[in-house]
Amino acid sequence: MNGLEDCVFCKIIAGEIPCDKVYENDRILAFRDIQPQAPVHILILPKRHMESVLDLADLKTGLSANVIEAAAHIVRLERLEASGFRLLTNCGADAGQTVSHLHFHLLGGKQLTAPLA
């Protein structure tokens, strides 16, 4: 199998693995993390397989705007506007990326501390 066939997020997108879906459109899927680091911990990912934000930057397709639009929608849905939230992505093993499919973590629902892995 190649990397794409082994990608757990591609399998979730394809419906082969279930998820607790929060948001979906034709380009983006968002679901609750199975190992949450905060009361609200949602993964937002493009349906198109790419490994990191560096690949996203090269596309020039508006997909980055789609991610931000999805995050804003989810923030309102989860009622995080007033208390605040964190939106981040890890790029590479040293940064803590454990799945080689670009994804953003949306965290909130409590006071977040500086160290996150």
Active site residue 103: yes
The structure tokens 């794409």 sit at 4
For residues 21 and 30, the answer to whether their CB atoms sit within 8 Å is yes
Catalytic one among 41, 73, 101, 103?
103
Query: CA 51 from chain center: how many Å?
Result: 12
> In whole angstroms, how large is the CA radius of gyration of the chain?
14
Residue 20 carries which DSSP code? -
63: number of Cβ within 10 Å: 19
Which amino acid, one-letter code, is at 36? Answer: P
For residues 29 and 73, the answer to whether their CB atoms sit within 8 Å is no
Catalytic residues: 103
